[in-house]
Amino acid sequence: MSYSQRMQKNLIQTSYFAPRGRARMYDLGMQMGQMYLSPYDRLIGFIGDAGSGKSALIHGMFPGLELTNDDDGVNVRPLPILSVTEESGFYTPHTYHLDVRFETGFTQPHILAEAIMDAIRLQKRVIVEHFDLIRPLLPRNADLLIGVGEQVIVTRPTMFGPEPSELVDTVHKSLRYRLMAHTAEDLCAMHMDPKLYDVCHHDDINHGFVMAFYEYPPHIDLEELEKKVNIDIKRDLPVTYADESHILVGDIRQECSGPRTHVTSTGKIEGFRLCPEIIFDNQRNRYLLIGFVGENSQESLRRLLESTRAPEMMNPFIYK
């Protein structure tokens, strides 16, 4: 057992907020690679739906790895791992990647499973997206299992689990909140002064979003902003990818750091609520515009306001 594996032998599960945007997913992937990845790990499984950011996370954990399901539509053919036993020599790949959901359109699942095990026997490393789909055909679990939804979940399975199926429901069900929150945040940005949007920083919370301002509190009519966003939601405008820095909301082009992580139309945003006050974060000296989505957004907002109200003194957390 490697030093990394010994240090993690009691690891059950850890989780991070799945951040907004490709750059922050890269950074999280790099951090996870340093903390959890062992050079002795042969099989790394990823679980998560389309648009969850698995590819960006993989790029962060394994810089330079060529993915076989490139988002730009340039797919590696034939799939390199299928000829792993035919290759030999110093320059053969050490790490292989495959997307099971994508590859089963071309190759039978049992052939993919055999190729994965052949690579492991040859001391290669295999990165498998949608690992839950191939696990029933494999005689072993992943060495490291990562689920991506609203949160990024990291676990090192043992013979007692967890199995990929235990992560599937969690990450697939939670992803919708992240997609709704990210889209609602971009709708807010559409109706803000561009100068304010240029200086705001993005942060992550459960079932919501944070836009942080460090130098001064933003002067925004929050009630009016919430009304404008809710009008966009009622209009059910299509939300589509434009390029790596922009989305289209209807026919409006909007800057976005994570253009693939959205609901398909604004009408799919449920329970949008904007905090009616700018919250001052005295731990990090910043001013926060906070929004919530989902069926429990009103309760989340109520708890937030209660937690920031000091009972016997002027409230230092609310900026009006």
Of 316, 231, 317, nearest in space to 275 by CA = 317
* 300 Cβ contact list (under 8 Å, min separation 6): 206, 207, 208, 273, 292, 294
Residue found by looking up tokens 């429990």 in the block: 296
Pairing type for strands 239-243 and 273-274 reads unpaired
Domains of the chain and any CATH numbers:
3-162 (3.40.50.300), 175-319 (3.30.980.10)
CA dist 203 → 17, 86, 185 (Å): 9, 47, 11
d(CA 108, CA 127): 18
Query: Can you list the alpha helix ranges (DSSP code H) found in the chain?
Result: 3-7, 22-36, 54-61, 100-103, 109-121, 131-134, 164-190, 194-199, 222-235, 297-307
Kindly report the pTM of this predicted structure. 0.86
Eight-state DSSP code of residue 65: P
Q: Is-cis flag, bond preceding 194, omega within 30?
A: no
CA 288 and chain centroid, separation: 22
What is the residue-level pLDDT of the chain in tens, covering all 320 positions? 554 555 566 677 899 999 988 889 999 999 999 999 999 999 999 999 988 999 999 999 999 898 887 655 456 678 889 988 887 666 678 899 999 999 998 999 999 999 999 999 999 999 999 999 999 999 999 999 999 999 999 999 988 889 999 999 899 999 999 999 999 999 999 999 988 988 999 999 999 999 999 988 999 999 999 999 999 999 999 999 999 899 999 999 999 988 999 999 999 999 999 999 999 998 999 999 999 999 999 999 999 998 877 554 344 444 44
